[in-house]
C-alpha cells in the first residue's frame, strides 16, 4: 500500500517533531525528494539572516531537480513557511528575495486560541448561532426533509428571534 501524501498532522506526532527532518516528513509525507528539497530550502533560508535572491543554486549544490524544487517551494509558500519579498516592499528598501515566514506559526497560534475560546463557551448568543449554522449543514435540511434536530430555543434574556425568511431562521 502506498503512503498518503496528505499532511500528517496528528497531535501526538506534533509533540514528537524535534528537527527540520521531522517537520518536513510531517508536512510532505510520501515524497522523499520533496522532503529533501524542503529541508534544503528551509536550512538555506535559516542560514541567511537577510533575503536570499534565488533558490536555484540549491539545484546544482544538492542535486535537486528544477521541478521538485519549484513544486516544493510552491507548497512551502502556500503553507506559510516561506515567503517572497517583492522589490516594492518598502520595509526591505527595494530589495527582493525569499525569507522564512511567520505566517504558519501565527496562523496555528490563532487557531489554537480560537479553539480554546470556543471550548470554554461563554456567550449564549454565539452558541445559539452555532446551533443554527450546524443545522444548515444537515444534508436532509437542504432537501426539505426534517431529519435533523432543531436548535434549542434561546433563554428569555437572549437575542430576539431572526425575522421570518432570513438565513438564520431554521428551515421547516
Outline where the chain has alpha helix (H).
11-15, 20-27, 32-47, 57-62, 66-79, 103-119, 124-136, 139-143
Distance CA 70, CA 98 (A): 13
Strand-pairing partners, residue 122, are none
Residue 73: is its pLDDT beyond 80? Answer: yes
DSSP state of 168: T
Strand-pairing partners, residue 85, are 97
Q: For the whole model, what pTM was predicted?
A: 0.72
Which residue, chain included where needed, has cell 536555484? 56
pLDDT of residue 34: 96
Pick the CATH number of 11-110 from 1.10.287, 1.10.3470, 1.10.510, 1.10.10: 1.10.10
pLDDT of residue 128: 85
Domain with CATH 1.10.10 in the chain: 11-110
How would residue 79 be classed by pLDDT, with cut points 50, 70 and 90?
very high
Amino acid at each position: 500500500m502506498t503512503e498518503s501524501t496528505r499532511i500528517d498532522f496528528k497531535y501526538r506526532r506534533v509533540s514528537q517533531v524535534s528537527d527540520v527532518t521531522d517537520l518536513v516528513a510531517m508536512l510532505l509525507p510520501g515524497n522523499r525528494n520533496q522532503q529533501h528539497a524542503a529541508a534544503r530550502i528551509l536550512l538555506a533560508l535559516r542560514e541567511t539572516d537577510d533575503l536570499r535572491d534565488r533558490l536555484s543554486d540549491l539545484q546544482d549544490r544538492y542535486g535537486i531537480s528544477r521541478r521538485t524544487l519549484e513544486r516544493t517551494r510552491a507548497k512551502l509558500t502556500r503553507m506559510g513557511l516561506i515567503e517572497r519579498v517583492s522589490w516594492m516592499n518598502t520595509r526591505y528598501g527595494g530589495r527582493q528575495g525569499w525569507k522564512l515566514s511567520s505566517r504558519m506559526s501565527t496562523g496555528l497560534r490563532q487557531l489554537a486560541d480560537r479553539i480554546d475560546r470556543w471550548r470554554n463557551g461563554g456567550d449564549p448568543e454565539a452558541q445559539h448561532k452555532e446551533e443554527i449554522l450546524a443545522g444548515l449543514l444537515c444534508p436532509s435540511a437542504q432537501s426539505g426533509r426534517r431529519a435533523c434536530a432543531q436548535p434549542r430555543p434561546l433563554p428569555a434574556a437572549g437575542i430576539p428571534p431572526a425575522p421570518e425568511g432570513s438565513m438564520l431562521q431554521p428551515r421547516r
